[in-house]
Amino acid sequence: MTLFSSTFAQFQPDSVQYPFASNYFETAHGRMHYLDEGSGPVILMVHGTPTWSFLYRHYVRELSKTYRCIVPDHLGFGLSDHPTNFAGTPEAHSNNLVALINHLQLDSFHLIVHDFGGPIGLGAALQMPDKVKKIVLHNTWLWETADDPEAQKADRIISTKLGRWLYLKANFSPKVLLKKGFVDRKKLDKATHRHYTKVFPNSDSRHLVYQMGKNLVGASKWYGQQWKKLTLLEQKDWLIVWGEHDPFLGAAHLKRWTQRLPDAPVHSVPSGHFVQEEAWELSISQITTFFQ
């Protein structure tokens, strides 16, 4: 295995859709790309798979008028390096995020998380709970997945030779699974979709997307540990903005959050899994009110 996947030219985002300056932080396994836009109180936004900071572009454009928006790309995603010798577990990504927070010397921050960004972002927050102000949850989880029938089903597929081929050779995650996460496919036009597919141009570049998928169940024990530690953050102000037509994380996941965080206001929005794409205007309105 090589240290960095360097056999492909880095994808160049459209400057109209993604008009932001790139910043880089050196980790032990490669350069982590991140956005740092605006000034004021810090909002840290954490993506999942197979997305990257592009997912939060609408949020950054609007919220950076009042806040300092920091949005990293996990290693193996977006404009970060795509190392093939990095473990790629949610815990490892979470530790990278902690290192970035420390590098930027952030004294406090609001947190927005989504998908695998939930365990990754909250895992980081649990290492520095005093720095966390308010938390916004989009469709995500933070509990053991080994006994979840849907997670088990996905794990059985990805663990086969066919599953590996689909992820590494066919670019299955951004080409197929991402599209499945939308209710209104018109919201995923070709120009937008290519920003999710073209950042993974070959097998090496897809290695950590594949590892992320394997860790849906593979990191189950670690998720459970973070779930127990969540008492460190429970007294924070939480907001749940949930895509109500999510085919991956549905009503049972939302119920689990509301039982754990009974005082958190819940706003269901008419979208699938990717709230930031399908319902960004409504979501930003709710988030802005919450942070104020």
**Residue 252's CATH number:** 3.40.50.1820
User: What pLDDT, on a 0 to 100 scale, did the predictor assign at position 221?
Assistant: 98
- Residue 228 scores a pLDDT above 50: yes
pLDDT at 1 over 90: no
* Residues recognised as catalytic: 115, 246, 273
With 70 as the cut, is the pLDDT of residue 10 above it? yes
Position 36 confidence tier, pLDDT thresholds 50, 70, 90: very high
pLDDT score for 259: 98
Q: Is residue 185 part of a domain?
A: yes
Does residue 1 lie in a domain region? no
- Is the pLDDT score of 250 beyond 60? yes
Residue 15 belongs to some domain of the structure: no
Residue 7, pLDDT > 90, answer no
**Domain boundaries, position 75:** 23-291
The answer as to whether 190 is a domain residue is yes
Domain-embedded: residue 174:
yes
For the cut 60, the answer to whether the pLDDT of residue 205 exceeds it is: yes
pLDDT tens for residues 166-180? 999 999 999 999 999
* Domain count across the chain: 1
Mean of the per-residue pLDDT values of the chain: 95
3-class DSSP string for the chain: CCCCCCCCCCCCCCCCCCCCCCEEEEECCEEEEEEEECCCCEEEEECCCCCCHHHHHHHHHHHCCCCEEEEECCCCCCCCCCCCCCCCCHHHHHHHHHHHHHHCCCCCEEEEEEECHHHHHHHHHCCCHHHEEEEEEEEECCCCCCCCHHHHHHHHHHCCHHHHHHHHCCCHHHHHHHHHCCCCHHHCCHHHHHHHHCCCCCCHHHHHHHHHHHHHHHCHHHHHHHHHHHHHCCCCEEEEEEECCCCCCCHHHHHHHHHHCCCCCEEEECCCCCHHHHCHHHHHHHHHHHHC
Q: Is 4 within a domain?
A: no
